[in-house]
Amino acid sequence: MKAVGALLAGGRSRRMGRDKALLPVADGTLLDYMVARLRALPLAEVVVCRDAPGCLADPVPGLGPLGALHGLSLHYAGRTLLVVPVDMPLLGATALERLLAGTEAEPRHYAEHPLPLRLTLTPATISAIAARAAPDTRDRSLAGLLRELGATDLPLPVDIGEFANLNHPDDWARLRVLLARR
């Protein structure tokens, strides 16, 4: 069964000062651009994790990527996900397809980058996500979850520039020029 593409687009964008997902790209938004990138991959479907109509809202707001994974685990148990953040617009299809390769269930991501990520929602994975989403949990980091699950770190591709993400207006100014060239 093909994986489900999960686009994380529900962050607060505090450092950017405005909603990153709604930044203008070509004739649309960064959200539109990234959805199109995922739809070009061999995925069963693409779901946008965001508190907006037609999207999958986090069941527990304020947990960051873990909140999105928690919501996904409630709707896609047993499925494999390709989890991609909206703020990495230079990610190439080759890097994402490399995450999808193989049939093993353990999570895969690139060294030093918890996202993008391939994650199969096994009962053990769902339980680990739920435990980290509980109100009394101290470590809600994605890196901590990946360590707990024994995730495989893939070596970074030669062009690590594709892992650049948007956090500040200066990042946007630089990446906007690169996106215009595509």
Considering only the C-alpha atoms of the chain, give the largest distance between any 2 of them, rounded to a whole number of Å: 47
- CB atoms inside a 10 Å sphere around CB 31: 21
Query: Quick one: pLDDT at residue 42?
Result: 95
**Domain range list for the chain:** 4-180
In this predicted structure, what is the pLDDT of residue 13? 63
Tokens of 176: 């906007």
CA–CA dist 175, 152 (Å, integer): 29
Q: What is the CA radius of gyration of the chain?
A: 16
**Alpha carbons 60 and 24: distance in angstroms, whole number:** 29
Hey, CA dihedral for 113, 127, 5, 63, is it positive or negative? Answer: negative
What is the pTM for the complete model shown?
0.92
Q: Name, in order, each residue with C-beta under 8 angstroms of 40's C-beta and a sequence gap of 6 or more.
A: 93
What's the CA gap between 66 and 72, in Å, rounded? 10
> 3-state DSSP call for residue 46?
strand
CATH among 3.40.50.970, 3.90.550.10, 1.20.120.1770, 1.20.1250.20 for 4-180: 3.90.550.10
CB atoms within 10 A of CB 168: 11
Per-residue pLDDT of the chain (182 residues; tens, 9 = 90+): 799 999 999 866 667 667 888 888 888 999 999 999 999 999 999 999 999 999 999 998 889 899 999 999 999 999 999 999 999 999 999 999 999 997 778 899 999 899 999 999 999 999 999 999 998 888 889 999 999 999 999 998 867 788 888 887 888 778 777 777 76
